[in-house]
Amino acid sequence: MELRHLRYFVAVAETGSLTVAAEKRLHTSQPSLSRQIRDLEDEVGAPLLSRSARGVELTAAGRAFLDHARLALAQVDAATEAARRASKPAKQVFALGFLTGHEMTWLPRAMRLLSDELPNIDVTVSSDYSPDLADALARGKLDLAFLRAEPGFDLDYRVVDHEPLVVLMPSDHPLTSRDSIRPEDFSGETFIAASNKATVLRAVIEGYIEWCGLDITPQHGVDNLAMAMSLVASTRGLALMPAYARNLLPGSVVSRPLAGTVPTIDLAIGYSRSNTSATLKLFLSRADELAASAALS
């Protein structure tokens, strides 16, 4: 008994027709297929198919044989795939992380840097808050991430962009009539600031408030952009957030640029210096292209 006998029998059983199985599934002649089925039945020692003018039907022996034939073919296919995988070296995984929302801009640029290596590696992509990305880098769960230069982690950072801060406000707020927002426009408004978890953003915002000489007491603190947008809409407050927020705003929230000297927050690529990945080394050797692409956008 050969594998082709099993494949021929399963094809006939599933189509219910020698003609259809021969022409559509097996691409052979019907007489040849009939001979193969007879040879199989001779070896089994029992008729497997009942032939009539309406086509073919499985006999009791055929029904019993079909499940085992399918299992045998499935096991052969699995064995073949396992052998093929074993004959090839496993692909290296390169794990990329992105501060949520930045993958829209930076993932295509990162993939261009890795284009020559893509046939040889598997790239995984995840998005998260910046402190969580830094923690994942430190624990070896990520190879490289686009994030803030988070303090308190034994990581190296390279700045790839300086993002201006913009003002978020409800879409029907009176200040939406302005082309830009002046520091004094914050007076009397509910102000939504970054929480202690968003360490880097909080420091930039507090530095701007102090530089402007504003007397602002934040009413709310947020860990991330999603929370900021929700509070802006629900409290009708104002928030300072990095400019990438403009790509993610719901209809209830709009943005306006700041007038005058605009504070910026750095976006960096972070990695562990103890990571010996050859793909990471290649990526870092071309990292200057990332900063150049940001300057052109």
Q: Do 44 and 112 sit in the same domain of this protein?
A: no
Assign residue 247 the CATH number of its domain.
Answer: 3.40.190.10
Q: Do 101 and 82 sit in the same domain of this protein?
A: no
pLDDT for res 297:
61
pLDDT for res 295:
62
- Final residue of a structural domain among 35, 65, 87: 87
- Final residue of a structural domain among 42, 61, 87: 87
- Rounded to two decimals, the pTM is 0.67
C-alpha 201/C-alpha 242 separation (Å) is: 8
Assign residue 61 the CATH number of its domain.
Answer: 1.10.10.10
- Asked if 132 contacts 223 with a C-beta cutoff of 8 angstroms, the reply is no
Q: Do 117 and 260 sit in the same domain of this protein?
A: no
C-alpha 258/C-alpha 136 separation (Å) is: 34
**Looking at the chain, how many residues does it have?**
297
Query: Nearest 5°: phi and psi at 87?
Result: -80, -15
Q: Do 122 and 257 sit in the same domain of this protein?
A: no
Count of domains observed in the chain: 3
Answer positive or negative: Cα dihedral of 166, 155, 206, 198. Answer: positive
pLDDT for res 74:
77
- Final residue of a structural domain among 67, 87, 107: 87
Paired tokens of 280: 């990471």
Q: Give the single-character DSSP code of 91.
A: P
Q: Do 222 and 194 sit in the same domain of this protein?
A: yes
Q: Do 144 and 57 sit in the same domain of this protein?
A: no
Q: Do 150 and 272 sit in the same domain of this protein?
A: yes
Low-confidence spans in the chain with pLDDT less than 70: 53, 85, 88-90, 294-297
User: Domain containing 62: what range?
Assistant: 3-87
Q: Do 155 and 270 sit in the same domain of this protein?
A: yes
pLDDT digit string (tens) for 89-98? Answer: 667 889 999 9
pLDDT for res 79:
83
Q: Do 167 and 244 sit in the same domain of this protein?
A: yes
- Asked if 76 contacts 104 with a C-beta cutoff of 8 angstroms, the reply is no
Q: Do 147 and 284 sit in the same domain of this protein?
A: yes
C-alpha 101/C-alpha 103 separation (Å) is: 6
Q: Do 71 and 194 sit in the same domain of this protein?
A: no
Q: Give the single-character DSSP code of 184.
A: G
pLDDT digit string (tens) for 18-68? Answer: 777 777 777 878 788 788 788 878 888 888 888 876 778 888 887 888 888
Q: Do 136 and 281 sit in the same domain of this protein?
A: yes
